Amino acid sequence: MDTRWLDDDELTAWVRLVAVVELLPGVLDAQLRRDSGLTHFEYFVLAMLSESPDRTLRMTALAQRTNATLPRLSHVVSRLEGRDLVERSPAPDDRRATHVTLTAEGWRTIVAAAPGHVDNVRRHVIDALSAAQLRQLSEIAGVLLEHLDPDGLMTAVYERPATG
């Protein structure tokens, strides 16, 4: 099989995408650690719970929404539990399953962390782009997600209606 090597334009686009994928998590993580004592992934877990009915999700659903393995998520949830930000309980409809619920302290933590996180996202991504570029980024990311997540297991969570 002959390899279809990347041409100069393709290689430039690819290297730039890889650089963004590598640099952005560190930028997001550093601000959250400094200002809120949370890792970006911990913030993501708390955010997913905060947006869920009764601020509760089954561990398997939370793993799906955060694209985490159950062992990784269990470790993070244990850390968050130790800080009284979440609590685990048996699922009422299936005692073998576990629910994770955002505590009142977890809610206060995510509410306090959100403004700084949004400011950071704005500063490093949103405000760096024109309105047209932002639309292009959204379209490009949508196309890539169709290939990376064809069943929409993770991305369905983000299909929100436009606000006006």
CATH of the domain at 27: 1.10.10.10
Query: Is residue 28 domain-resident?
Result: yes
Q: Which residues of 65-77 are buried (b: 16+ CB within 10 A; e: fewer)?
A: bbebeeeebeebb
The Cα 70–Cα 73 span in angstroms is 5
Instruction: List the pLDDT tens digit at each of the 164 positions of the chain.
Output: 899 999 999 999 999 999 999 999 999 999 999 999 999 999 999 999 999 999 999 999 999 999 999 999 999 999 999 999 999 999 888 888 999 999 999 999 999 999 999 999 999 999 999 999 999 999 999 999 999 988 887 776 665 544 44
pLDDT of residue 90: 93
- Domain range for 62 is 23-113
Query: Is residue 131 domain-resident?
Result: no
Query: Is residue 123 domain-resident?
Result: no
- Domain tally for the chain? 1
Query: Is residue 121 domain-resident?
Result: no
pTM for the whole structure: 0.87
Query: Is residue 52 domain-resident?
Result: yes
Residues 6+ apart with CB under 8 A from 100: 49, 56, 57, 58, 59, 62, 77, 86, 87, 88
Residues 6+ apart with CB under 8 A from 159: 152
Query: Is residue 163 domain-resident?
Result: no
Query: Is residue 9 domain-resident?
Result: no
The Cα 73–Cα 94 span in angstroms is 20
pLDDT of residue 11: 97
pLDDT of residue 153: 77
Q: What angle do CA 145, 70, 100 make, to 5 degrees?
A: 100
pLDDT of residue 164: 45
pLDDT of residue 95: 82
Query: Is residue 12 domain-resident?
Result: no
